[in-house]
Structure 1
Amino acid sequence: MVSENEMYDVIIVGGGPAGLTAGLYAMRAALKTVLIEKGLAGGQVAISDSVENYPGIEEISGFDLSNKFLQHAKAYDLEVLHQEVVAIDPGLDCHSVQLANGVTLRGHAVILAAGGSPRKLNIPGENEYYGKGVSYCATCDGFFFRGKTVVVVGGGDTAMEEALYLAKLAKHVYVLHRRDALRASRILQQRVMAECKIEILWNTIPVEIKADEHGVCAVQLQDTKTGERRELATDGVFVFIGFFPNNQLVPAGVKMNGDGYVVTDEKCETNIRGIYVVGDLREKYARQIVIAAADGCTAALAAAHYVESKKASSEVCEAPTGLFK
C-alpha cells in the first residue's frame, strides 16, 4: 500500500510500453518504485487488434502484448497503483506527484509516460471499428491490407507519407481531403501525384464508416461544396489529421517544442533534474512500440544513476566531520 510518508526512488506516471519498461528496469536496479496508471495497462497498444512489428514476436494481439509487459514488470514486484494523477510538482529535494484521491507521493525521480493521442474524425463507426479496419498508423497496420483498397484521410505531410507507404502494399489508395489543395510539402505532393495507385478525392470528407461481419467495408463521403453524399467501398480507413501529446501533466518550466512535445536529452531527462519524459510525449522522429520501450529503459537506467548519485551526495553531506580529519 502506498503512503504519503514513503519516499520513492522513482515514480512512473503512465502504464504504456514506455512506463512498464521503465518499471521493469527500475525494479531490476533495486529502486523503490511505483507505477501509476488510471486506465488499462498498455495504453493505446492494449486496444490494437494485432501487433506484428514488435521484435521477437511475429504476431500478437495488442491486449496480450500489453499484458506481457505488465506481467514481466510485476514479476519483479513492481507496485502498480490504479489512480489518476492530477499534478506533478518539481522540488529541490524531491518531486511530488498529486493523485486525484488527495494523496501526494514523493520521489527522487519522476518518469512521465503519458503518451499521446491521434486526432479523431468523431464520426459514426470510427470508435466502433478501431482495430477492425480503422487505424491511425500505416506502419503498424498497413501489412494487413496487402492487395486491398484503403482510404487515407488527411492532406498534410504525415497523410501523404502514409499514403505512399500504403501504396506499396494496397491495391488502391484513396486520399480524402476536405479542400482542393494539399497542405503537404511540394516534394511529397509530387510523389503522391506520380503514384498510379493513389487517387485523391478533393473537397471530400468522410461522415460515416460502415462495416460488416468481416470489418470495415465502406465509407460514406460528403462533398464539402455541394453537400452531396455517396458511398465508397473500402477495406480500411487510415486517419492522419494530426496527433497531439498528452502534456497536461508536464510541470511548468519543462521545455517543450512548438507542437507541445517535451524536449529531452539522450537520457530522456528534461531540463529539470530528476524529471524524465518517455514515449509518445517526448520529441522524437518516430513513434513505435519498440521505441517507447527503449525510452523507458533509457530513462530508468538514467534515473537509477541519478538517484544513486543523489543518495551518495546526501550521505557525504550528513557524515560526521571527524571522518574527514
Structure 2
Amino acid sequence: MNTDGEFDYDVTVVGGGPAGLTSALYATRLGLDTLVVNRGGGRAAMMRDTHNVIGVTEETSGNEFLQTAQEQVQSYGGEYRRGFVEDVEALGDGGADEAPDGFRVDTGDAELTTRRVVLATGFSDGRPDPPLPRTGMGLHYCLHCDAYMFVDESVYVMGTDDAAAHVAMIMLNFTDEVDVLLRGAEPEWSDDTAELLANHPIDVIPEDVTGMEKDDDGWLESFEFEDGTVREYKGGFPMYGSEYHAELADALGLEREDSGEVAVDDHGRTSVDGAYAVGDLTPGHNQIPVAMGEGAKCGIAIHMDLRAFPRSSEKIAELGPVDESEVPAISPELMATAVTHEGHAAGPRTEAETVEGEATADD
C-alpha cells in the first residue's frame, strides 16, 4: 500500500524488459511503492549474448541479465509478479481535458489501483517463414547490436522493402559479401532505393530458400535455394517489420505515431496524464542502453510528479505547514527495506534495530 493509503501502489509498470525494470528500479529507490507485472518473454529474453552494455560481459544471456535486474528491483522493496495485464482503465469522472485520478489495472485474477502506470510492453519482430537458423546463431534482429559479429563474413538480409535494402547497404561497412534474399516475393522498395542498390555491390536473390546447413554448434553455414544453388552465410537480418504490443495503450486512448509507436516526450509522458511509455513501444533506437536511459528518466519524472515535498505555496495555503509527523514521506515497508539494505549509508540494520527506530519515530 502506498503512503496515502488510497491506492494499492504509487507506480505500476507493465512489462519486465530493460526499460520497464529500470523505471521500476528508479521509482522504488526514489521512495515510490512500485509493482512490476511481467508476462515473460520479450526481445531481451531472446538474447544468447549481451552486446553494447557497459559493465555487462558478452557471455551474459538475456535471461541472466533480466534475472539480475528483477532481483535488484526486489532488493530495494519493489514488487515483481509474473502475469498478464488484461486491461488498464483511467479512474475519475474525467472529462476529455481532465487528468485521471489514477488507474485501475486488471491482471485477470485481481484488480489493483495505482497512481501512475508505465507501459513497457515492447514489440515483436516480424518473423520470416522457415527454414531458418536459430535466433542468435545466424538469425539476428538488431544491426546495431550484431553487425560487429559479421565483420568480413558473408551476410544476408531478408526482406523486400526500403528498410531491407538500406540495411543491406549499411552492412557493406562491415563486410564485402552481402545478399538481399527476396524469398520468392517481388521487391517493394522505391525507385530511388532501387537505383541506390544497383550502385552498391549487393546481390539480390529472387528465389525462395528451400533448405539450410548448420555447423556442429548449430550456427548457420549456408542456404539452398529453389534453383538448386547453395550460398554460404554466417548470419543475417530479417526485415519484416514490427508488431507493437499496444493494446493497453489503445485502451487508454494514447496517441500513437504514424509508424505505430506510442507518442511520448523526453521523459516517457504520453498524451494521457499519469500514463507513461518506455522502451521498444516508443520511437527511437531499440537498444538496451537506450531503453535503460528511457526507464531512468521516466522513473525520475514520476518521482518529481508524485513526491510530497517541497510542499507548494498553494498546498501550504490549503494544508498548512509541513508537520514533523508527516515526514519522511516514504511508506513503512520501503523504509524497513531501505535501512536494512547493504547500500544504506549507515550500513544494514538488524530487524530489532529497525523496529526500535520505528517505535522511537512513532513516539
Aligned positions of 1:74-85 closer than 5 A: 74-85=74-85
1:219-260 Cα shifts (integer Å, max 9, x gaps): 2334xxxxx554432211310111121112212421112232
Given that 2:262 and 2:277 are in contact with CA atoms closer than 8 Å, whether structure 1 keeps it comes out as yes
1:155 aligns with 2:160: yes
1:67 aligns with 2:67: yes
Aligned positions of 1:229-268 closer than 5 A: 230-250=229-249, 251-268=251-268
**Amino acid aligned to 1:98:** D
1:76 to 1:320, Cα distance in 2 relative to 1, 3 A: closer
Aligned positions of 1:230-309 closer than 5 A: 230-250=229-249, 251-282=251-282, 284-308=283-307
Counterpart pick for 1:106 among 91, 104, 113: 113
1:117 matched residue in structure 2: 124
1:33 matched residue in structure 2: 34
* Structure-1 separation of matches of 2:216 and 2:8: 52
Secondary structure at the residue paired with 1:135? Answer: coil
**Amino acid aligned to 2:220:** V
Of residues 24-33 and 150-159 in structure 1, the stretch that sits farther from structure 2 once superposed is 150-159
- List runs of 5+ in structure 1 lacking aligned partners: 223-227
Secondary structure at the residue paired with 2:104? Answer: strand
Aligned positions of 1:175-254 closer than 5 A: 175-178=180-183, 182-196=187-201, 198-201=202-205, 203-214=206-217, 215-222=219-226, 228=227, 230-250=229-249, 251-254=251-254
1:48 matched residue in structure 2: 47
Higher strand share: 1
Larger radius of gyration: 2
* Structure-1 separation of matches of 2:52 and 2:311: 42
Question: How large is the Cα RMSD of the aligned pairs?
Answer: 3.0
**Amino acid aligned to 1:262:** V
1:60-100 Cα shifts (integer Å, max 9, x gaps): 43333323322332331221011111111112321011002
1:30-89 Cα shifts (integer Å, max 9, x gaps): 10000000114xx31222122221234452433333233223323312210111111111
1:127-173 Cα shifts (integer Å, max 9, x gaps): xx111111111221121112111111012232122212222223411
* Structure-1 separation of matches of 2:185 and 2:12: 49
1:104 to 1:68, Cα distance in 2 relative to 1, 3 A: same
1:298 to 1:206, Cα distance in 2 relative to 1, 3 A: farther
Secondary structure at the residue paired with 1:134? Answer: coil
- List runs of 5+ in structure 2 lacking aligned partners: 93-100, 323-363
* Structure-1 separation of matches of 2:131 and 2:183: 18
1:97 matched residue in structure 2: 105
**Amino acid aligned to 1:156:** D
Secondary structure at the residue paired with 1:125? Answer: coil
**Amino acid aligned to 2:167:** E
* Structure-1 separation of matches of 2:145 and 2:14: 25
* Structure-1 separation of matches of 2:191 and 2:259: 22
* Structure-2 separation of matches of 1:106 and 1:83: 16
Q: CA deviation at 1:185?
A: 4.4
1:63 to 1:208, Cα distance in 2 relative to 1, 3 A: farther
**Amino acid aligned to 1:243:** S
- Once the two structures are aligned, what percentage of the paired residues are identical? 26
The alignment covers a number of residue pairs equal to 308
* Structure-2 separation of matches of 1:303 and 1:229: 59
1:180 to 1:7, Cα distance in 2 relative to 1, 3 A: closer
